């Protein structure tokens, strides 16, 4: 960087750099701070992008914050989320779009810049050497969109350029579904102390953070239909501690997660025998402390999975998936499963488990056939044909077939 005195008494700061084709050029700025910022932009973004950012900054009469500055403003004024979630958002931004876009004024970011970041992110590997997942990019894009939307509300830019961008496709983390026999085998391989917790997770479909935060005050094992009320869940805290991140008790994941779930009779019997004080946690460690996933997984869960030798490696969260699959196999409608699992939207339930409802078209056809039975009665088969009884209805005193499913003698 070179400096020279102007005739009006001010100092000019000249930054020398080369373009992509090797041509040397320069830019003159009015302050040392602006020149230092431009040098930093050159190092991070290259000459063309740095030029674009500076032009966007100097073309505005009003002071427009950089995206990195607006992110902090946005997080500082966010409501309805925990400190741990705010810390997670900040870490996600740092790992994804902040290095590429943080030096842009919020009104200088356009769809092309966001698309370039997304393409670069998709080609970036994680610390484990694996490609950045489509889910991570989608989460990061969602955060960026929220931050830019708040900039629109604050009149720092006219629109949100992240809207409508197509997200990269990726494979959903493969779910493992356990049959009832497989779960029975696995449960027998779990240490007896922990069997009630594993049975509870599979029998209710609660998330790990919900089940391990459950208090006796929210358990009703004395009613004709025993239930649990999901009112709290473990949330990641903003701080760090030896061996992992701090955890705080808070409201569950979404508004729909605040729910009442029925308890299977066998689990209600287990809980009734070990009932504690209302404020106590239902599931605790052997010494009475809270149960931590990072300890439970290697010491209890992995050991049981190894012993069971099922030919598949379920995660603890796969107990929730298995629970849902059992309900679907039993014919429980997806909207009821949605409420039981605490999904915010039925679309989530359909996206995750809809493929398991392989007979959904048959169920729909049966219902439509029953509705049309008065107008379009289907004649019963001739003698020698036996009708499957559960597929028949009685209309005006005569049997009407609901499906063509026949069993011939």
Burial of residue 321, with CB atoms counted within 10 A of its CB: 0-12 exposed, 13-18 middle, 19 or more buried: buried
Is the pLDDT assigned to residue 127 strictly greater than 70? yes
Looking at the fold, whether 123 and 1 belong to one and the same domain comes out as no
Looking at the fold, whether 49 and 160 belong to one and the same domain comes out as no
Looking at the fold, whether 107 and 194 belong to one and the same domain comes out as no
Average pLDDT, the chain: 81
pLDDT for residue 107: 87
pLDDT bin (cut points 50, 70, 90) of residue 408 is: very low
Is the pLDDT assigned to residue 405 strictly greater than 50? no
pLDDT bin (cut points 50, 70, 90) of residue 246 is: low
pLDDT for residue 28: 82
Looking at the fold, whether 260 and 200 belong to one and the same domain comes out as yes
Looking at the fold, whether 85 and 219 belong to one and the same domain comes out as no
pLDDT for residue 123: 87
- Number of Cβ atoms within 10 Å of the Cβ of 344: 13
Looking at the fold, whether 157 and 297 belong to one and the same domain comes out as no
For residue 115, tell me if it sits in a domain: yes
Q: Which CATH number covers residue 88?
A: 1.10.150.130
Looking at the fold, whether 280 and 365 belong to one and the same domain comes out as no
pLDDT for residue 154: 92
| pTM for the whole structure | 0.60
Looking at the fold, whether 192 and 339 belong to one and the same domain comes out as yes
pLDDT bin (cut points 50, 70, 90) of residue 371 is: low
What is the span of the domain harbouring residue 84?
63-171
pLDDT bin (cut points 50, 70, 90) of residue 147 is: very high
Q: Which CATH number covers residue 269?
A: 1.10.443.10
Looking at the fold, whether 67 and 10 belong to one and the same domain comes out as no
Average pLDDT over residues 250-255: 71
For residue 9, tell me if it sits in a domain: yes
Looking at the fold, whether 370 and 388 belong to one and the same domain comes out as yes
Average pLDDT over residues 183-207: 95
Specify the number of domains making up the chain.
4
Q: Are the CB atoms for 97 and 117 separated by under 8 Å?
A: yes
Is the pLDDT assigned to residue 354 strictly greater than 80? no
Average pLDDT over residues 339-349: 83
- pLDDT per position as a tens digit, 67-117: 999 999 999 999 877 788 898 899 999 999 999 899 888 988 989 989 999
- pLDDT per position as a tens digit, 25-74: 888 877 787 777 778 778 777 787 777 776 665 555 456 788 999 999 99
């Amino acid at each position: 960087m070179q400096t020279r005195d102007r005739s009006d008494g001010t100092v000019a700061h000249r930054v020398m750099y080369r373009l992509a084709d090797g041509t040397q050029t320069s830019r003159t700025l009015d302050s040392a701070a602006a020149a230092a910022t431009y040098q930093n932009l050159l190092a991070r973004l290259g000459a063309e992008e740095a030029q674009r950012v500076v032009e966007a900054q100097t073309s505005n009469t009003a002071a427009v914050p950089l995206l990195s500055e607006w992110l902090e403003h946005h997080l500082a004024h966010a409501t309805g989320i925990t400190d741990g979630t705010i810390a997670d958002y900040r870490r996600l931004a740092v790992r994804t779009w902040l290095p590429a876009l943080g030096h842009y004024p919020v009104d200088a970011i356009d769809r092309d810049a966001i698309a370039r970041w997304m393409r670069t992110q998709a080609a970036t590997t994680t610390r484990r050497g694996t490609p950045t997942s489509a889910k991570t990019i989608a989460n990061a894009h969602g955060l960026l969109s929220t931050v830019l939307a708040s900039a629109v509300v604050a009149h720092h830019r006219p629109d949100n350029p992240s809207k409508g961008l197509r997200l990269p496709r990726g494979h959903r983390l493969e779910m493992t579904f356990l049959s009832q026999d497989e779960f029975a085998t696995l449960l027998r391989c779990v240490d007896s102390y922990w069997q009630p917790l594993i049975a509870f997770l599979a029998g209710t479909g609660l998330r790990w953070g919900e089940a391990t935060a459950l208090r006796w005050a929210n358990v009703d094992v004395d009613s004709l239909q025993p239930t649990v009320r999901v009112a709290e869940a473990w949330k990641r805290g903003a701080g760090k501690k030896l061996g992992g991140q701090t955890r705080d008790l808070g409201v569950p994941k979404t508004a729909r997660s605040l729910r009442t779930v029925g308890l299977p009779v066998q689990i209600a019997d287990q809980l009734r025998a070990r009932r504690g004080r209302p404020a106590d946690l239902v599931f605790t460690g052997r010494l009475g402390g809270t149960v931590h996933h990072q300890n439970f997984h290697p010491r209890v869960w992995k050991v049981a999975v190894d012993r069971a030798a099922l030919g598949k490696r379920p995660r603890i969260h796969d107990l929730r998936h298995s629970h849902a699959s059992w309900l679907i196999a039993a014919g429980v409608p997806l909207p009821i499963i949605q409420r039981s699992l605490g999904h915010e939207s039925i679309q989530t339930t359909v996206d995750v488990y809809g493929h398991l409802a392989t007979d959904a078209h048959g169920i729909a056809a049966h219902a439509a056939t029953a509705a049309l039975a008065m107008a379009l009665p289907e004649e019963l088969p001739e003698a020698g044909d036996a009708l499957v009884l559960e597929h028949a209805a009685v209309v005006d005193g005569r049997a009407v077939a609901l499906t063509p499913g026949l069993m011939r003698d």
